[in-house]
Structure 1
């Protein structure tokens, strides 16, 4: 090998190293810049109805006698359901003079935006959601009209999607904020029981009369890095479990008329079991994301022992306290909460 060849190789080595370094740095920069932006919860506000709309259990029954067409047997059944529902004596119901339901959140939404110092024109995403309220114009369009938002604002409206509609909206907002940089998302979620009240005597439809009341909430989310220090929370995971493909789940809550032609929402006997199954499936999916490795190993070990019949052991319930400080489960009815605590090992103090 000649001396000239060795010198050429020696001079080429630094260039190769420099090129490799540039390639590595460019990949690192690409990875950092392409990462999904963090999503922050800047603030939230809740609507509380005036004291004149406060309604005790007995007052609800008395008003229902006037409003509905139910017989004494149905009234007594409603009274029994209320006693077991877990609802207190200071819930709120819609009054005859109640304004258009979407107005419930307007003042609180405006107050929230003002206290955070956010310019309304900087809101790029609006999502309105309600479990059962269906109005025209839509709730989302009412928000856009109220604040005179621009034509390029992304608008979504969720209706009749049940108790999970609020969380679905949060999940959608997170995904939208991860692809639309430097913007805000406003979520508005009013609730009003007026449209769901059933006036007949079919027991499976009377259940819907007591869980829903009047209220509302507004949430302001941001993906701006400058909001990191003033944000209340960071949204890390949003896990949605969909079981509508199952006939049992799909038919557990259904909108239909009774034998007398009175509209109502049927609650099937499968609802409690279906609700618990969905919650457990959702918790398992979330657990795989947040539980520490030690709990995952314990869970998998227990699963394989039971699967291969190595020993007769009870299913292992992971210790979620090692990853989660606060749990806010579905609060539709007390039986669902009781089953939730029993099946997942959560106590009231958790």
Structure 2
């Protein structure tokens, strides 16, 4: 008791500081029920006070961001709030935990960003049919997203010589009044294989043209689209399996996975091959001998 008293005195906290119930016992009581009860007490009182001051109805809330330094129960603190206040089923619920004392500011920034962006959401048309709304400028929007993606990941994968040349190009652009021809770094010098999300033929063509990729480099994308269709985020892994099934992967090769999705979002991952797959993946085992096949785009080019 003397040691605890001396520690508290030296900590700088005052006599009126409230300590968690768990540390008021000797030895401390740290059960899950005790911690959850404390969290509910603090959080619910804060939300009750907020709703009373603002007059906001819980049913009008469409974003919920909760942060806690360490406590990360299941169900989450966000789910606990949803159940307590009967919030909407389609609410955007994010819980930050395990980030220590910095999570408060991060959660404020996250809430701000969530309020600024428009959801990638499903809507009903005039006939009441639920679906995604895709605008006519999707290719232009996608190109901008890809440009930002390449700019971010380029320094991580491009050879130093290419990076240096690109930096010199940016300096020339700055002082040339637009007289310098546009330069795009050649990512083919850094990556041997490409797994690009097959969102559709127009987008595939756009990416191929932007990166200057050959038909063989785009083959995993087009053949996966032909065989399995667009299976959302899992599709790029089928493309990786295609490359391996064709025996094209070598130790030390690099694979660039490029995910493209609604929003518009573009995400990348570059992998180094530690060792090639020893056998053909089950997805391609029974049909890999039939590929590649001519797709409609390729057949059209052949005729012309």
Higher relative contact order (CA 8 A, sep 6+): 1
Shorter chain as denominator, the TM-score bin is 0.3 to 0.5
User: Structure 2-normalised TM-score?
Assistant: 0.33
Q: TM-score of the superposition, structure 1-length normalised? A: 0.30
